[in-house]
Structures are given as C-alpha cells and as structure tokens.
C-alpha cells in the first residue's frame, strides 16, 4: 500500500527557522561565494539584455582587464583610491559609526590639496607632501562635526554625514564654476596641477598612489590588529556598554577612529585629483562614497580583505568604462552591478545566521 502520511504537496509543506549559533568559516565562505555567483549571473543577464553579446562578457571582464598588462596597471591605478575609501569605511564602521560622508570628506581633501597647488604654498620639493597633509586635515575636519554631534548630542550620524556631502558637493561646484575655474577654457575644472604636484609613476608604470594605498592598508592593519587601540576598538565594536564598564575610553576611541576615517577619505580625494585627473573636476568623487561602504561591507571591515575587494571593484570600474566605449552601456550600470552584488551578499547573511528546517507532519 502507498503510505501517504508522510507525503505532502510542495505548497502544503511547512518550514521553520532556527537561529544558528555558529557556522564554520569554510561554510560561510561557500555561502558568500554562492551569493556572489548568483549576483554575477543576475548582472550578466542584465548586461546581455542591455546589448552586450553574452560571449563577450568573459572577454571584457576577465581576459582583457586582468591578463593584459596595460589594463592590469589601469586596474591597480583605479584600485588605489578605492582601497583608501574602503579602508576609511572599515575604520568608521568598526567604531559603529555609519560614515556615509566619505564623498564629502574626499571632496574636502581634494579641495585642500588643490588650494596648496593654486596658491603655490611651499617649495616645489615639499609641495606634494604638503598637499597630502592638507588633504588629510581637510577630510578629518569634515568628519569632526558629525562625530562630535554624535558623541555629545546623540545626533544621528547617518543623516549628518550624508547631508554634509551635499554641502561639500555644492561648495565644490561653486569653486570649479567660479573663482577656481581654469581661465584657459570654460569647462568646470581647476587649472591643471604642475608636474611636481602630481603623484609620480614609480616603476614599471605603477603609480605612487598604489604604493601609498598599500602602505595605508598596512597601517590600518596595524591600527586594528596590533596596537592597543585595536583592542579598544574591538570592545567598542562588539559592545559599547561592556567597553565602558571595563574601562575603554569609548568616546576617545570613537573620536580618533572616525577622524582617521575622514583623513583617509581626504587622501583618497587627493589620489584622484593628483593621480588621475591632474586637477579638481566637478564630479571626480562620483560613486566612490558608495563604493567605499560596499567594499567595507563585503570585506567585513577587515583591511586586507578590503584591499582585495577594492581591486575587484576597480576591475568592474575599468571593464565598465570599456563597455561604455564599445557598447554605449551607461556607467551607472557599474553601480547597478555593485548594488546587485551587495544585495546578494547581504541576503546570504540570512542563511549564515539561520537554518531552515522542514516540519514533519505540517504541524506547529
């Protein structure tokens, strides 16, 4: 006889969710890898429907960008500012401070660097270091108000940092359309930096920006992993209440970490103006703030992982540009793909934290 007691049609089956205590790291890695794969398949489908031949995708994204030495240099070059904003995101998020103002801090960093260049402050040999210091100071100052407001008046930093971006953006437009506009033509950008004001190529075409980004990554690794501040930061990250009770100077740790995050974002701004564009332009920052958050998120705030993810995002940027040239795909498609990848990885968190189990018999 056929036993029907244990058989149920698919829709009548019932499932229950259980919270998982822990999942081995290799299973977590597998879940995230699967999520990325799903994200890439969705992205590929969108690109194909937008007119990119399916057969060309692999060619554009992998072969032409990573196996061609000139493209590889372009990827690394592109990766430098992304590594910086990614690290800036990692630091702020570890202090439980949602710094959505990375773009504003980048803009001020770039404005600070450009001011040194425009007003010709310091001798040529010291000009570039001075620009770097000024960029970091300006980024830091732009992060100062939100962090003080949060610590002393509990003002939500998500809103304050985001709103300050608009002030920074409009001030940038005011400069490049106004007093800082290059007098030689009518485009909205500042006069070109001089040769000694630009990040030089060091060896084999690799820019100083790349080396600088790697040095900063090592610095962040030291800060979060080896110094006492790192221990404090781990306590603040895991539980501010416990941190306070066991004697971590919570406010000072948050203040210092967030200011460092702002300084790194400012330096990222300089990397674009002094490394790529050679001048202050009206939209050099576009997309970097979001990318920084995304990189920090995908890297789980780990500096080494952030460096790797930033290189991958840079690949996407470079490939996106060539798609723009050859297939007229708008550059916002790159942001769309980023967003899809983030949503997929964020959703995979659900499977890491929960277990789905079928209920026998369909009863609670």
Partner 1 sequence: MSNPNAIRLDSVSKSFDGFKALSEASFTARWGEVHALLGENGAGKSSLMNIAAGLYAPETGSLFIDDNPVHLKGPLDAAAQGIGMVHQHFKLVKPFTVAENILLGLRHLQAGTYRQRLAQTAEQITAMAASLGFSIEPHARVDQLSVAEQQRVEILKVLLAGARILILDEPTAVLTDAEAENLLTTVQNFAHQEGAAVILVTHKMNDVMRYADQVTVMRTGSTVASLKPQTVSVGELVKLTVGDAPTPPQIPSSRDAGEVRLAVRDLSSSGAAPALRGVNLELRAGEIYGIAGVGGNGQSELAGALMGLPEPVSGEMELVGEGDLNSLSAARRRELGIACIPADRYSSALAAPLSISDNFAMGDVHSGRYGPFWFLRRKRIEADTAAAVAEFDVQGVRSLQQKAALLSGGNAQKLVIAREFARTPQLVIVHSPSRGLDVRATLAVHERLRSARDAGSAVLLISEDLDEVMALADRIGVMSAGRIIGEFAQPADRQAIGQAMVNHV
* Residues near partner 1 (CB under 8 A): 226-231, 234-235, 238-239, 241-249, 364
Query: Nearer to partner 1 by C-beta: 184 or 228?
Result: 228
Cβ proximity to partner 1, 61 vs 235, nearer residue: 235
Closest to partner 1 by CB, 215 or 242: 242
H or E element, residue 185: none
Half-sphere exposure of 276 (CA within 13 A, CB side): 21
What is the closest distance, in whole angstroms, from the C-beta atom of residue 197 to partner 1 in the complex?
32
CB nearer to partner 1: pick between 95 and 270 = 95
Spatial separation of the C-alpha atoms in residues 252 and 295, rounded to whole Å: 26
> CB-wise, 69 or 227, nearer to partner 1?
227
| Pick 205 or 249: Cβ nearer partner 1 | 249
Least Cα distance to 208 among 279, 129, 134 occurs for 129
DSSP string covering 68-88, please?
Answer: SHHHHHHHHHHHHHHHHHHHH
Residues 360, 196: Cα–Cα separation, whole Å: 73
Give the single-character DSSP code of 204: T
Least Å distance between CB 203 and partner 1?
31
- Cα 283 from chain centre: 17
Closest approach of partner 1 to the CB of residue 131, in Å: 27
Among 38, 76, 32, smallest CA distance to 299 is for 32
Q: Measured between alpha carbons, how far is 249 from 253 in angstroms, rounded to an integer?
A: 6
Least distance in Å: CB of 20 to partner 1? 13
Q: Measured from the CB atom, is 256 or 320 closer to partner 1?
A: 256
**Min separation Cβ 247 and partner 1, Å:** 3
Closer CB to partner 1, 104 or 256, in the complex = 256
CB of 292 to partner 1, least distance (A): 24
**Pairs from 163-168 (Cβ < 8 Å, separation ≥ 24):** 164/101, 164/104, 165/100, 165/101, 165/103, 165/104, 165/107, 165/289, 167/104, 168/103, 168/104, 168/105, 168/107, 168/108, 168/142
Closest contact distance (angstroms) between CB of 96 and partner 1 is 13
Q: Which two tokens stand for residue 14?
A: 């019932």
Q: How far is the CB of 160 from partner 1 (least distance, A)?
A: 23
Residues with Cβ within 8 Å of 190's Cβ and at least 6 positions away in sequence, in order, are 114, 118, 175, 176, 180, 181, 182, 279, 280, 281
């Amino acid at each position: 006889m056929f036993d029907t007691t244990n058989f149920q049609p698919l829709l009548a089956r019932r499932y229950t969710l259980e919270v998982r205590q822990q999942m081995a790291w290799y299973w977590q890695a597998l879940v995230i890898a699967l999520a990325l794969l799903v994200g890439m398949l969705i992205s590929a489908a969108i690109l194909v429907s937008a007119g990119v031949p399916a057969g060309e995708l692999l060619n554009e994204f992998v072969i032409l960008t990573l196996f061609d030495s000139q493209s590889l240099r372009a990827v690394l070059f592109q990766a430098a500012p992304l590594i910086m904003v990614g690290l800036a995101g990692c630091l702020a998020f570890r202090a439980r401070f949602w710094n959505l103002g990375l773009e504003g801090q980048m803009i001020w960093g770039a404005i600070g660097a450009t001011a040194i260049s425009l007003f010709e402050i310091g001798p040529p040999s010291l000009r570039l270091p001075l620009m770097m210091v000024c960029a970091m100071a300006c980024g830091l100052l732009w992060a100062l108000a939100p962090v003080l407001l949060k610590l002393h008046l509990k003002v939500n930093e998500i809103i304050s940092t985001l709103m300050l971006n608009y002030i920074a953006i409009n001030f940038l437009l005011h400069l490049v359309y106004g007093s800082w506009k290059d007098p030689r033509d009518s485009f909205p950008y500042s006069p070109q930096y001089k040769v000694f004001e630009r990040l030089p190529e060091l060896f084999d075409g690799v820019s100083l920006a790349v080396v600088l980004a790697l040095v900063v990554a090592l610095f962040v690794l030291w800060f979060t992993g080896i110094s006492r501040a790192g221990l404090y930061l781990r306590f603040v990250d895991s539980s501010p209440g416990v941190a306070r009770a066991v004697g971590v100077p919570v406010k000072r740790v948050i203040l210092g970490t967030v200011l460092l995050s702002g300084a790194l974002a400012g330096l990222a701004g300089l990397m674009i103006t002094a490394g790529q564009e050679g001048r202050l332009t009206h939209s050099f920052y576009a997309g970097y703030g979001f990318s920084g958050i995304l990189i920090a998120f995908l890297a789980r705030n780990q500096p080494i992982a952030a460096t790797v993810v930033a290189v991958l995002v840079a690949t996407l940027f470079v490939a996106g540009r060539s798609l723009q040239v050859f297939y007229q795909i708008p550059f916002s498609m790159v942001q769309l793909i980023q967003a899809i990848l983030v949503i997929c990885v964020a959703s995979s968190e659900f499977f890491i934290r929960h277990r789905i189990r079928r209920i026998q018999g369909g009863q609670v």
